[in-house]
Structure formats: C-alpha cells, structure tokens
Chains A and B, each alone.
Chain A
Amino acid sequence: MDRLTAEDMLMFVNAATTSTGQREFHSRAAEQRASLEFLHEYVAGNYRDLYAAVLALDINDLNAALITRRLLATSADATPEQRALEGRLIARRLVVMPPQRVYDLFHDLRRAGVNNRRTRAIIRDWLAARPDQAFDAVKYRLGLKRALRHAHLAPSRVVDEVLGDELGTFLFRTATPSRFRTPLLDSWRRAHYEQAAVYELPYTVAEGFATKHGIDRAVFLSKIKPNLTRLESLRLHKSANTDVDLAAMPLTRLATYVLSLPFAERVDRRAELTSALRAAALRTAGSHAGEWGRVAAVLDDSFSSYGSGVKRRRPLAVAVAGHYLLEALAGEYFPLWTSGLDDPLMSHPRGATPLGHRIVDALSHDPDRLLIISDGWDNAPPGLASEVLRVWRARLDPEHRVSAVHLNPVYDAGDYDVKRLAREVPAVGVRNAEDLPTLVEFARFTEGRTGFASLSAHFTDRVTRFLEPA
C-alpha cells in the first residue's frame, strides 16, 4: 500500500511539474488536459493530505491553480485539521504565484460556482495582502472586480481608507468623478484625454490608451520604458531598445531568449550572451558551485526538443540552461549533445535522438554523476538508452558508484508520467533548470530504494520550510 502511494505521488509530482496543459511535440493540448484532469481527480480522491502538500513543491503555476481549485471545491470532504493546513498552504502558494494567474483562478472558482466561506476568506486575505492595490485595480481591473463580486467584499474591507472609498467608484460606477485622490487612479482617469498621463500607467494598460490616442509606436515605447516589468523589457528588447540586465534574468528564461535569437545575432553577441548565461548559472548554483565533482551530461537537442508552437523550444531551453548550470556546479564537466554539437549557444532542435550512443560516450568520461536532460523519445535506435543503462548498472556499476538521473521536461499524456528511459535510472520532471539541484536530490525517491516513510518525511519537511515566514 505504501509503495503504491509513493509511486502515485511521484508520478503526480512529475506531472504537476511538467504539464502545462499545452500542446507538446507528441501530444495535443486536449490530451494533456484530459490526462492531467484524471490524475488530479485520482490523487485528490485518494491522498488528500499529500495532494495539498504538493503545493509546497516546485510545481508549475497551472497545477498549483488546479490543486487550489480542487481543494476549495471539495472543502466539505476535509477534516478541520486538514482544512487549517490546506488554508495555510493555499495562502502561501497564492503569494508566490503571479497575480494574473491568481485572478484567473478566482475567475475559475466563480465559474465553477465555488463560493464557500473558506474560499471567500482566502480571496479576502490575498487581496488585503497585495502590495499595491491601486496598481492591481488599474492593471487587473476586471479580475479584481470579479474577485470582489465573487467574495461579496466591499472594497473598504480589503484596502486602506482613501483607496477604499474610491475603489468602489473606480470599479463599479460608470460615471467617473471629477478627480481621484489616489494618484494612479487619477492618472487612469486623465489618460482618457491627456496623452502625458498614459505614461504613468502600467504598460499593458497604457498600450490600449496609446492606440486610442493614436500615439506613434516608437514614441510610445521610448516613453513607457520606465514602467516596463522585467519580462516586458526582455520581450521588447529589440523593438523598444530597452536596457535589460540579462544576467539578472532567471536562467531558463534567459536560455529561451537566447534560443529565440537568429544565429547571426547569437554570433554577434556571443560574449555578452555567454557571460550572461554563465553569471545566471553561477547565481543559481550559489554555494554549491564547483561541488559536484566530475559531471557528464547527455543533453537532447533533437527535433522533438522544439516542443510545440505554444511552448517553442522549451525542452531545448531547459537543456541549454541545464548545460550552463551543470558547468557551474561541476568540478569537471563533460557535455554531450545528441546532435554532436559542441557550442550550446548555437543549438537548434534538429536531427534524431541517439541517446544510447551518447550515454556510452558520457560514461567513458568516468563521471561521478551522470545527468540526462531529454524528453525520453529515444529513437536511434529505439530503446538503446534503456538497454545501455540496464547493462551498465547490472555489469559495470552494480554498487551505484555513479549517480545517474534523467530529467524530463515533457509530460507524456498517455503514461500519466514523464517518459522514463530505464527502471534503473530515476526520471523526474523538470520545469525550470534552476530546480535541478533540488530535483536531483528528489530523484532518489523515484529510484525505488527509499521507501514511503522517507518520502513522507521529505514532504513534511518541504511543507514546513514552505510555510516558514520568508
């Protein structure tokens, strides 16, 4: 029973880390959604405590939202103690989630007709804890309006005095007053007729007003620059010529950005991009830098690492980010790309996946750790990677001298898990390469050698750390 629980939970954690419900290279969005939906229902029905505890792990935002929604919708099934812990986990998770996703979640709850007292309290507390509510009111106007309506909240209950008076007017009244006392709300009012006020608003809101006033795009972009978020400035890097501190970007995001550039530009900016990637990797590695000894990595840049039109080059970006992170973590590092490439900056999803041959090459460097970052579709020849790993573990490394982990960025909808290469090598789902050290530690559970007790302890430990006030 315990072993089954452990296996189910590992499967669920892998799914919740990797699946975003979007189209992947080998499966359609609907397949991903349906598979994920089933998995959530199964786990929530059988292991409610663990299901809630998964909120404390590095799962992606879609799954965090799905878990929250399901927990709130099935409040009646939970005991009071369960509810108390769930409430704290949900509240903590919502704080770290991007606000637009939280507003979407509230909207989903509204559409699903979930409006119990706990839900309303959670919405109230989250709204009250928002750092800049006037900003939220302008940027997420519809989301905030729906949330307040759904939770039956008077604006004055979640915001301070001055804004409290005006928020109701701002959100719900059609006639605007002659002026707002809150500066941002007043900028929004003036932006309707005054071009200068447009540049005081968040970029997404200002964009609409700029169109309304017919402001030239170039002029608009140059003046709105100070109001851009970090991601917006990265996205508009070329068109608005924004100043982006690439090295401060999260590693995987940076890798995605680099892969989106044409080859010629990558060549021109080689020094800049490489140093940014290295700096981001060093920052992520932190105190562990250089501590991992001899590391060999098999990295997948086959055609399937293209992902899909909606997750463009995501698996490849994880591999590229992983490459730089491992370079920082390792004492000696041996990267092996499936295409035989030796310049990760120029990587491009192309060619078949001869994982088996590359693993043999990797092992010939006599590493302390072997890491495989691949979607697991081994096809040249199929199944060779599995056989190589099996024979290697059975004949050449029976005492597990080398630790081997397979990190898989793609959820396989048909298997309800990430595709694994061999029973002998643990496979864990990976969303961001930054989580790699944690995942490698987590991987020992999937190897089948550590039991349910230690997994359960790990969950408890993660939950405690997650709930500690930051």
Chain B
Amino acid sequence: MATLDFTGLTALPAQVWGGVRLVPLVRDRPITDLRLHARLYGDDGESVVALPASAAYTAYIPHGFVATWSDAPAATYGTHLTSPTPASTVRLHFHRRMARREDRNRLRFLPLHLAMEGYLALHFNGPTVLWDEWSQRAIRRGLSPRSEQAYAGAQVEGLADALKLFEIHPGQCGVMLYVADALAAAFVVPHPDDYRALHATLLLDMYGELIHHYALLSAPVPAFHARLNETYVESLDDLRAAASRQSAEWTSFHSNTMATALLHTNYDIRRVHQAGRYTLSRFLPGFRPKEENHIGEVITDQRGRTAYLKTFRLSESQIRRGHLLNTLAAHDWHLGAAAESLGIAPAAFTQRLEAAGFAYLLREDVLARHRAESRRSTTP
C-alpha cells in the first residue's frame, strides 16, 4: 500500500470548455532517459491480448504506448506507417501480454487496459475456501468470464472540443481531466514533447459510465477566476506579488481539494515490469463505496517519483463489485462472516451480490432461500 508521488509536478491554472476542466501539470525538470510514443492500432476491430496461464483479454484497443529508456537522454522512437487493410473484413489484433519487451530497452504496453486487466482479475480465481453456498461453476471456473464496459473518449460529450481548444503550456508533462468537476483521468508523461505528441490520445482512451453520463448531463462548469485584493496594492511590485500569489494558491487548492481523492489515497500497487531504473506497475484502490476510486498504471523511478501515470475512474457499480469481492476475500469467502462485517443479514448480502451481477457464483437453492427470506422480512 502506497500513495502516488507527484514530486516535481506542479498544477497550473485550469482551462475550461463546457463541462470539461483540464488542469495542466508541468515538470520542473523533464525526464530525458525515458520516452513514450504512441502506436496506433487503428479503428478496425477488436483486440485479443493473450495473458499468461491461458487467459485472454478481449477489448477495443485503439492504441498502445511504447516506452524507450536509456542511460543517455533519448528521443522518441518515431512513428510508423501501416498498410491499409481491406474494409470488408474485421481485423482482430493479437497482442502478446499487456506489457511486452520489444527490444533490450523498449517496452510496448496497452495504456489503461493494463490497469483494467488488473481490476478484472481481482479475485478472479473465485472462492478460496469451498463453503457450501458457492456454485460448482464458481468453484471450477472462478469469476471467468468477467467483463466491464467503458466509453471511448470520442463518445464523451465535449471532450473532443475541450482537448482541441486546450492550450498546452510550455513544459507541460501531464493533465488532470475533470468532467463536471469529477476527476475523470490523470495523465502524466516523462517529457513535454511526449505530452504534445500524446495529448490527442486522451480521446482514444476509455472512460467509465459515470464520466460519460456526467459529460452528457453537466452544465458548463465555471472557471476559477483570479481575485486580487486591491486594499494592499500600493505599487506595481505589490500587484506583481499579488498576481503570482494567485498561481500558488491555485496549486495548493488543486492538490488539496480537487485532486485529493487521487493523491492522498493508499493504493495496492503491483509491479508489472522492471525497465532499467523504472518500474511499470498497476494499482487498485481500496474500493470504498460512494467515494472516488481510481485504478491505473504508473511508471516510477527508483525513488518512487511518477514518470508516467494513467488512471481510470471507476463507476459506482464497478466500485461496488470490487468492494464486495474484497469483502468476501477478506473473510475467506464465508457469506455469513462477510455479511456480518458489513452489518447486514446474509440474505441481504446475497441480494447485493445478485445486484452486482455475481448471482452465478451462488448455488440456485441458496439464492432462492435468501430471496424468500428477504421477501418475508420486507413484507410485514
């Protein structure tokens, strides 16, 4: 368990367009020995990612990132051209693993899908203790297949315009994306040039149902206008000082109020790949219901500072699923104990599992009995 380390990253004033607020993050010193560039897989079809132990991950994956590292400062690897494919066929891309070393110092990984796979694989093997209530299917196959839905950035109302009109700051290495003032995503890269190249890929990323709905229903959010107190301004230097104070105030307001749920939370961080002095990891939140929960992936240097970060905000139902699974796992998959820890009856807990889409884990007769029980308790 650890928090994300944003040392060296400073939030600058936000730019607002409609319901979307973009907060630029600049780096004091860009990282030159780790560079990212995009690899586009095109818009034609789904991708299958083969995972170790004969599991497969199928998703619409429009792009991937390639990280290059070296001891000396490196340049981005460059773009590549693909030959056009016939339009009549649906092409399936096959990728081997989420993160794959392509060369001695080059790593290809699928942004967000790496994190999403971590979330889907949460307690994927099913019950660890074979209590009576669990169905044969849960015992044999675990939670497989698990699926989650998300929206492509292009479907999020107003996001395309907001990204297009955004004015990238010099030295900008990241952005915090708010939709209707809910933190939708954080994106950090090592170098300003990488950011400039990857800015548009935010539109190719996936966003949860919550963000999509917020964007659709949100009224335009107001900009945080600067306010100066003229009482103490006696000279131009006072005015200058008051103006620069605005920036500092905004920076602390942003990290302590707006982004606090992302930055000041403990995450379960799991290492995926070691690349020189950098570590690619993915992280899962504590799945606290009715709070902000982000999953994501992060590249950190040997001192734990963030070189690359990409997060996905979980929707309420996704948080609930994670929360239920975590609760079960914490109580060795014992229904009664898990229900007790939440302060509810086993029948109510079963209903929650059912509502979360995990009914198939329980035996039919257990389900029926609990349904009847809860009916009896609700009807007087």
A303 within 8 A of B: yes
Q: In the complex, are the beta carbons of A353 and B167 less than 8 A apart?
A: yes
* A contact residues around B235 at 8 Å (CB): 396
* B contact residues around A360 at 8 Å (CB): 236, 239-240, 243
Q: In the complex, are the beta carbons of A383 and B225 less than 8 A apart?
A: yes
User: 12 pairs across A/B with beta carbons < 8 Å?
Assistant: A303-B167, A304-B165, A304-B167, A351-B167, A380-B167, A382-B223, A384-B246, A387-B226, A387-B227, A388-B243, A391-B228, A394-B230
* B contact residues around A263 at 8 Å (CB): none
A226 within 8 A of B: no
Total number of residue pairs linking A and B with CB closer than 8 Å? 92
The minimal Cβ–Cβ distance linking B155 to chain A, given in whole angstroms, is: 20
The minimal Cβ–Cβ distance linking B171 to chain A, given in whole angstroms, is: 10
A26 within 8 A of B: yes
Mask for B239-268, Cβ within 8 A of A = 1, else 0?
A: 110111011001000000000000000000
Q: In the complex, are the beta carbons of B243 and A25 less than 8 A apart?
A: no
What is the number of residues of chain B that contact chain A, defined by CB distance less than 8 Å?
30
Q: In the complex, are the beta carbons of A383 and B223 less than 8 A apart?
A: yes
A residues near B (Cβ < 8 Å) are 25-26, 302-304, 339, 350-353, 356-357, 360, 363-364, 379-384, 386-388, 390-392, 394-396
Q: A383-B225, A387-B227, A394-B230 are in contact. Are A302 and B167 (CB under 8 A)?
A: yes
A303 CA to B227 CA in the complex, in Å? 25
* B contact residues around A380 at 8 Å (CB): 12-13, 167, 169
Chain B residues 148-200 with CB under 8 Å of chain A are 165, 167-170
The minimal Cβ–Cβ distance linking A393 to chain B, given in whole angstroms, is: 10
Q: In the complex, are the beta carbons of B170 and A356 less than 8 A apart?
A: no
Q: Which residue of B lies closest to A392 (CB)?
A: B239
A382 CA to B247 CA in the complex, in Å? 10
Q: In the complex, are the beta carbons of A379 and B226 less than 8 A apart?
A: no
A37 CA to B174 CA in the complex, in Å? 41
A300 CA to B14 CA in the complex, in Å? 19
A10 CA to B230 CA in the complex, in Å? 30
* B contact residues around A391 at 8 Å (CB): 228, 230, 233, 239, 242
Q: In the complex, are the beta carbons of B169 and A351 less than 8 A apart?
A: yes
Q: Which residue of A lies closest to B24 (CB)?
A: A352
Q: In the complex, are the beta carbons of B250 and A381 less than 8 A apart?
A: yes
Q: In the complex, are the beta carbons of B165 and A25 less than 8 A apart?
A: yes
Q: A356-B226, A396-B235, A396-B236 are in contact. Are A384 and B165 (CB under 8 A)?
A: no
Q: Which residue of A lies closest to B241 (CB)?
A: A360
* B contact residues around A387 at 8 Å (CB): 225-228, 243
* B contact residues around A395 at 8 Å (CB): 230, 233-234, 239
Q: In the complex, are the beta carbons of A379 and B15 less than 8 A apart?
A: yes
Indicate which residue in A363, A382, A392 contacts B16 across the interface (CB closer than 8 Å). Answer: A382
A356 CA to B168 CA in the complex, in Å? 18
Q: A356-B243, A382-B223, A384-B226 are in contact. Are A396 and B233 (CB under 8 A)?
A: yes
Q: In the complex, are the beta carbons of A364 and B236 less than 8 A apart?
A: yes
Q: In the complex, are the beta carbons of B165 and A351 less than 8 A apart?
A: no
Q: In the complex, are the beta carbons of B224 and A382 less than 8 A apart?
A: yes
Indicate which residue in A350, A363, A381 contacts B226 across the interface (CB closer than 8 Å). Answer: A381
The minimal Cβ–Cβ distance linking A302 to chain B, given in whole angstroms, is: 5
Q: Which residue of B lies closest to A381 (CB)?
A: B13
The minimal Cβ–Cβ distance linking A398 to chain B, given in whole angstroms, is: 11
Q: A304-B167, A381-B247, A382-B226 are in contact. Are A396 and B239 (CB under 8 A)?
A: yes
* A contact residues around B234 at 8 Å (CB): 395
Q: In the complex, are the beta carbons of A382 and B13 less than 8 A apart?
A: yes
* A contact residues around B12 at 8 Å (CB): 352, 380
The minimal Cβ–Cβ distance linking A221 to chain B, given in whole angstroms, is: 33
* A contact residues around B230 at 8 Å (CB): 390-391, 394-395
* A contact residues around B227 at 8 Å (CB): 383, 387
Q: In the complex, are the beta carbons of B243 and A363 less than 8 A apart?
A: no
A383 CA to B223 CA in the complex, in Å? 9
Q: Contacts A364-B236, A383-B223 given; 11 further ones with Cβ under 8 A?
A: A303-B168, A379-B167, A380-B167, A382-B16, A382-B224, A384-B243, A386-B226, A387-B225, A387-B228, A388-B243, A395-B233
* A contact residues around B247 at 8 Å (CB): 381
